[in-house]
Amino acid sequence: MAETGSDQAGDMKHDNISSPGVSDQEKEMATNAFEAFNAGSYDESLKNLDNLQDLNKDDYKITMNKAITEFYKSGQTTTSTLKQMLTTLKNQMHTAVEDIDGLDDVENSILYYNQAVIHYHMRQYSEAISIGEKLYQFLEPFEKFAQAVCFLLVDLYLLTFQPEKALHLLAVLEKLTTKEGNSKNGKGESANSMNKESAALKAEFTAMIEAAKSKMHQYKVRAYIQMKSLKACKREIKSVMNTSGNSAPSLFLKSNFEYLRGNYRKAVKLLNSSNIAEHPGPLKTGECVRCMFWNNLGCIHFAMGKHNLGLFYFKKALQENDNTCAQLGDGGNGQAAKMFTGIPMCALLANKRYELLYNCGIQLLHIGRPLAAFECLMEAVQVYHSSPRLWLRLAECCITANKGSTEQETKGLPSKKGIVQAVVGQGYHRKIVLASQSTQNTIYSEGQSAAIPVASMEFAAICLRNALLLLPEHQQHDSKPDNSSKSCSQPGSTESGSETSDACSGKTQEGDKFIPAAPSSPLRKQEVENLRCSILACSAYVALALGDNLMALNHAEKLLHQTKLSGSLKFLGHLYAAEALISLDRISDAIAHLNPENVTDVSLGVSSTEQDQGSDKGDLEPVESSGKQTPLCYPSSVSAARATMLFNLGSAYCLRSEYEKARKCLHQAASMVNTKEIPPEAILLGVYLELQNGNTQLALQIIKRNQLLPSVMPISSPDLRKKPLPFQSSQPVQPIQTPSSFTQVQRK
C-alpha cells in the first residue's frame, strides 16, 4: 500500500496543474513541487508548496499535499499526525463519508482514499471498508484510481475473511482492466504509432496491466484458499506460477495449497525452495517473509502431529518477528506499533507477535505444558479479547494444570495414590487411610482473587463465562441448513461461489452471518454451536471442581438440550448432571441420568470445517486443530462408556443403601472392561461393599493388590484395546476429562 500512497501524492499535485483558473505561475510551482517530490527532494517540494499556498490559501488540496510531503520526509513515521491532518481537512469540508451523494472531483475521493489507507495500516479494517465501499460506487470516471481502490478493498475483504466479496470485486476489476487496456491500445494505434514517446508510454502501460493481472491471480488464490475450494485454487495456482514464476509469494501460495490438500512433505519442500533472502524487507513490503516462513513450517508440522517440532518453528518465527520489530524501532512488544510512532506506516502490519503467541500457546497445550501455554495465551488475549475460542483455550490450560495426580499410571495399572492416601502406625496398630475425595490442585487460588489471571479453576470459570457471553444467542426461527445459501462470510465453504450472487455483493441473510474469532478464522453457524457445547461441558466440569453443584447442573442440562450434540459430549453431560444431583442429594434424578441406555455413541462428531485452520493466506495464520486424532481420556467405545455409567450407578445405589443393586452394577461393569482399565474409584467401591458385608480380609486384599478380586467380579475376557491417554486439547469442540463422579465413602 505504500507505493499507492506515493502515486496519490503525485496525482494530487498533477491535478493542481490542470485545474481551471490557475495562473501560469501557479502551474509552474505545482509542476516543480511534483517533480521534486518524485525525485525525493521533499524540502524543495515543500518550499514550492508554501509559495503556492501563499497565492491560493483556500485550496485544501495544497494543505493535503504538504501533509503528505511532510509524511514522506519523516520516513512515513508520523502516521498519527497525517491521520489527524486528514481528519481536520475532512471536517473543514463539512462532509462525512456516509453523507456523500456524489463525488464530483477526483481530489475529494483521494482524500477519503488516503484515510482508508491509514485505517488499513492501523488495522482498523471496519472503518477502511466503510470508506472503500462508499468510494467504490463512484469509480468509473477514474480509471487508474479505480484500480487502487479495488485492490485496497480486496485486501481488506481477505483480511476480514470475506473471500466471496473479494472474488466479486476481482471480477469487476478484471473487466475494468481489460476495458482500460483495449481503450488505451486503440488510442495508441490511432495516434502516431511511430512516435517513440507514445511507444514508451504504451510499453509502460502494458507492463502495468500485466502486473495488475498477476496481482489479481494471487488475490484469487488467497480467496480460494480461504474458501478451501481446491479445484478452483489449482487452476489459479497455474496462472500465478506462469505470471510470477518461482517468486517467494507464488511459492508460499502453492505451499499453502498443498498444505490444505494434506501433502505436507511437498508443502515443506516448496517453502524451502523459496528464496526468501532476495525478498525486499518490511520497509518496502510491510511483511517479514522470514517470520512467515518459520510460522508456516510450524503450521505444517502441527498438522502432521509433530508438536514439539512445530513449537520449535513457532519460537523461531517469534524470534524473527522480534528482531524485525527491533530494527523498525519497536522493542518487539508492539508498544510502538500501538502508538503508531517511530515505525514507518508500511511496516505497521509487519508485527505478528500476538498471532505467534497464540500459535505457541495452542502448541504448548498439545504437548502437555499448560502453564507455559497459559502465559502465551494471556498475552495474546490482551489484543484478541473478543475471541470465544481463545477464552476457551485459556480455560483448558487452567483445567489441564489442575487435573491433580489421580491419573498417574505405572505399568498400565491405576495409581495407588488414587486409593490409599496415607499409612499410619506400625504392626498391629498400622492403619490405611483411604482417600475421601478427588483432591484438586489449588496451589494457585489460595488467598487470591478469582479475577487474577493465574491458572486456577476460579479463573477458568471466568474465562468460560466470557466465552459464553461472546457467542451469539440461538437463532429461534432458523430452520435452513448451513449450505442453503452461499454467504460471503463462509470461508470454509467448499464451493467456488457465484461471483455475481447477492451474497457477494454484500446482501447476506441474518442467519448466515459469521462471528469474528481473530486471530483464527471466523465461526460459522455450526461451528458456533459446536463451540457452545464444548464451553458448556467445560463449564460443568469447572463448576463441579469448585463445588458449585447448582451451576454445574445448570450447565450440564443446557448441554444436554443442545440440538446438535456429539455422542461424547452427551455422555459427559449425563455424568456431570448425575454428579451434581448426587451432591445435591437428589439420588433418584441422578440414577435416571446414569442409565447405561443413555449412551449410544461416544464419537466426537466434529464437522470437517473445524479442521485445517492453518495459514489461510500462505501467510501468518493461527492454527486450531491437528490432522491426527489424539487418544482421549474418556472411554473410546460405547461398551467402555456404559461400564463407566454402571460404576457410577453402583455408587449412587450405595448412597441409598441398596448394596445388592450396587454389587450387580459393579459386577456387570467390571465384566465389560479389561481388568487393568478398572478405575481406582471402582476399586474403592468394591472395598466399601466388602466392608458392608463384613469381609474385612477381602477388602484388605483388594487394597493391597489394587484390583478387584475374582470373588468380587467375574473373570473378564481379554480386551486388546489401548488405554486412553490423558486429556489433550486437539479439537475446538473437544470435551474435557471426565471428573470422578464416584462418591467416596467415609472410613469407619
pLDDT tens per residue across span 601-638: 888 764 433 343 433 333 444 444 444 443 445 677 88
Identity of the amino acid at 168? H
* Confidence bin at 522 (pLDDT 50/70/90): confident
Residue from 94, 89, 54 nearest 68 by CA: 89
Give 443: exposed, middle or buried? Use CB within 10 Å, 0-12, 13-18, 19+.
Answer: exposed
* Confidence bin at 324 (pLDDT 50/70/90): confident
478-484 contacts, C-beta under 8 A, 24 or more apart = 478/511, 478/525, 480/511, 482/524, 482/525, 482/526
**Arithmetic mean of pLDDT, 736-745:** 36
Question: CA of 611: how far to CAs of 297, 520, 625, 731, in Å?
Answer: 18, 12, 5, 8
Of residues 624 and 243, more confidence is placed in 243
Predicted local distance difference test score (pLDDT) of residue 480: 40
Poorest-confidence range of 230-239, 573-582, 658-667, 736-745?
A: 736-745
116 touches 136 (CB < 8 A): no
Instruction: For the chain, count helices (H), then strands (E).
Output: 29, 4
31 touches 53 (CB < 8 A): no
**Arithmetic mean of pLDDT, 205-217:** 80
Coil vs helix vs strand at 34 = helix
Share of the chain above pLDDT 90, in %: 28
Task: Kindly report the backbone phi and psi dihedral angles of residue 471, in degrees, each rounded to the nearest multiple of 5, phi listed first.
Answer: -80, 145
> pTM above 0.85?
no
Predicted local distance difference test score (pLDDT) of residue 418: 58
CA–CA dist 13, 72 (Å, integer): 15
353 touches 325 (CB < 8 A): yes
Residue from 133, 172, 130 nearest 149 by CA: 133
Residue from 217, 234, 105, 57 nearest 151 by CA: 217
HEC per residue, 83-143: HHHHHHHHHHCCCCHHHCCCCCCHHHHHHHHHHHHHHHHCCCHHHHHHHHHHHHCCCCCCH
**Arithmetic mean of pLDDT, 577-600:** 92
19 secondary structure, DSSP code = S
Write b or e for each residue in 645-684: b if 16 or more Cβ atoms lie within 10 A of its Cβ, otherwise e: bbbbbbbbbbeeebeebbbebbbbbbebbbeebbbbbbbb
Of residues 554 and 96, more confidence is placed in 554
* Confidence bin at 281 (pLDDT 50/70/90): confident
User: Does residue 519 have a cis peptide bond before it, meaning omega lies within 30 degrees of 0?
Assistant: yes
Residue 469 neighbours by CB distance under 10 Å: 9
**Arithmetic mean of pLDDT, 126-145:** 80
CA–CA dist 62, 27 (Å, integer): 13
Residue identified by cell 504538504 is 66
106 touches 11 (CB < 8 A): yes
Residue identified by cell 482492466 is 177
Torsion (CA) 744, 745, 746, 747 in degrees, nearest 10: -110
Residue 564 neighbours by CB distance under 10 Å: 11
| Sign of the alpha-carbon dihedral angle for 87, 91, 96, 100 | negative
Q: How would you classify residue 520: left for phi > 0, otherwise alpha for psi between -120 and 50, otherwise beta?
A: beta
225 touches 233 (CB < 8 A): yes
* pLDDT for residue 42 is more than 70: yes
pLDDT tens per residue across span 394-423: 999 999 998 754 343 333 444 555 577 778
